[in-house]
Structure formats: C-alpha cells, structure tokens
Structure 1
C-alpha cells in the first residue's frame, strides 16, 4: 500500500447523493486507496440502509475515501466532489430526494474545513452555477459502513438498471473530465 513520506494515509468523507455514484467516481482516481460507502451525520447508531432511506435518521449517504496525499491532494478530491454532482440542489440529486442525498463535505481536520470552505466560496463567486451552492460543510462524526452488498456496487452490478442508466453515464462523464487523474488501468487513451 502506498504511503506518503510520513507513512500516513489521509481520509476524506463526501456525500454527493447516491453513494454508488460517489464510490465509483472516487475509486477511479489515482492515489485513492479505498472508497467505502456508508452513512454519516445522523443521530441513530448503526443505521441500516432501510432506516437511512426513510430520511429520519439524519444521515447522508456518503463515501469515506482513504488516499495517499503524495499522489492526490485534498484539493483535487474537492474538485472531483464539486464536479461529480449538482452542489446547488438541496437534499436532492436527480430522482433521489431527501436529506440522505444532500451535498455534504465531512471534514476531518481544520485544514480540510478551510480548504472546503474556500473551494465552496470561490466556486460560488465564480458564477459557475446559476444558483447558490448549498453544500453542507460539517465536522466528521461517526462513519457507519454500509451493508456489504453496497460496497463496490457499480463495479459488481454494472448492468443493474440504476447503474446502467444513472451511475454509468455519470461515471463516464467524470472519467472524461478527470482523464489525467485516473488510475492507469482506467485511462484508455
């Protein structure tokens, strides 16, 4: 496993709607060691997918990314975050509606908080979007790993309806934009 000079890997946690899409996006980036689907930001301990889907637990579907900062920066992960979903859509991504699908960055330290706030403010100021960015920036709390069948869902189920018609086009578009940052086995140029 690759590590930086101090031997430490770093973590980042993002919610961009359905975690199947988020996980597939981050797993494709060079320097990302793992992307684990799960739930964060709620009040119920050990929530299940079924409970989170009700929108009553307060959790967001998100992905905990473990990465090597010598290969990919947190700023690059933020760029991937903002470009892989609609950060102006409150509690909704496409047909997925509810607080569990909110746009959220869970920061792990003060540096991540500052970088996330700066990226959000600069993007908002740039006029890249017609509406204000509604991305929540919150401290990391307890991350609950989603059930095993959710892990690497897109990779394991590419022909499943939602994957074929929603996840695949989103991932294909992302890979075209981030071509230079993809893992070598995904960069077919």
Structure 2
C-alpha cells in the first residue's frame, strides 16, 4: 500500500470521490499543513486560524491504480484554479493542495500539474507541499457522504461531483 494526501475543498467531497476508485483501500478525512501545535478540531480548522487544510489520506494499491492516475482524478474533480476556495467554501482550509510523502511523489505531482495546465483556462494554483502530521478528523466526518446522502450539501454539491466522476472515469470505479 502507498499513501496519497490531498485537499480540494471540503473533505466530504474528496472522500466521496476516492471511496469510489478501484485500488483505493481506505480513505480518512482529516487535517494537515497547520502551524498550531496539538490536534486541531473541526471548529478550529474552520476558523482558518490554524493553517490546516481539510484533506483526505488515501491508502491505495499501486498495482491497481497509479499515483499519477489518482492525481488526475483529484485535479479534475475540483477546481484547481481557485485560490483558497471551492464553490461556497472559502478560506485557506479549503485550498487545493497535494501533500507529498517522498521526493518522488513531489516530482510526479509537479509533472501531473504541468501536463494538465493546457486543459484549464486559468492558472492552476494547487500547492505541492511536504506532508506534515496528519490528524484524522472527528468520527462523524468519516464516510460523511455515505452516511448523509439526503443532507442538502451532499445532494447539491457531492452528488454532481460523483456523476461527473462516473462519466469521466467509469473504468476506474469499483463495482457497485
């Protein structure tokens, strides 16, 4: 198993997407990249004062799906051209970021971003930053979409992202 850590707005959205991908064994919503010591809470991260981003940490099988394939799915499942914002979610905690765990991951992430630049009208602002301590989010955030599909945010924001995922990456999805 290998690890991918990314943030692309609300972690509920990104988690729901990666839970659908073949080769992904586990997805944990959490926080990374902050400057405040200790384990942050959701409320603290939402304040924008801790410096943490809402992220997901993905354990995946590289024999089934590659790091690059996961990054392409990530980059095309959110808007990597908006700084510190995804839709109505605004603040540094919602930034587009790839946290790399090795120098090889850093180089591969930068390469994927470079290859995707021509497909976006605006410049890509996704950060590529070294991984720091990962803090798992509170339990009620884990598998949020699966546990709350009827909630308004899930229906209005996450469901359309999953529809797009099914159209673009049908061959990469787990059997339902």
Task: Specify if TM > 0.5.
Answer: yes
Structure 2 residue aligned with 1:177: 168
Structure 1 residue aligned with 2:6: 14
TM-score normalised according to structure 1 size:
0.91
> Which among 56, 69, 86 is matched to residue 93 of structure 1?
86
Structure 1 residue aligned with 2:158: 167
Structure 1 residue aligned with 2:57: 64
Question: For residues 13 and 147 of structure 2, what CA distance do their matches in structure 1 show?
Answer: 13
TM-score normalised according to structure 2 size:
0.98
Q: Does 1:113 align with 2:113?
A: no
Structure 2 residue aligned with 1:37: 29
Count of residues in Structure 1 that have an aligned counterpart in Structure 2: 175
DSSP 3-state at the match of 2:160: helix
Q: Give 1:80 shift.
A: 0.7
Structure 2 residue aligned with 1:25: 17
Where does the alignment leave 5 or more consecutive residues of structure 1 unmatched?
1-8
Q: Where in structure 1 do 4 or more consecutive aligned residues deviate above 6 Å? A: none
Question: For residues 178 and 36 of structure 1, what CA distance do their matches in structure 2 show?
Answer: 22
Q: Does 1:83 align with 2:64?
A: no
Q: Give 1:184 shift.
A: 1.3
RMSD after superposition:
0.7
> Which among 34, 40, 43 is matched to residue 47 of structure 1?
40
Structure 2 residue aligned with 1:147: 138
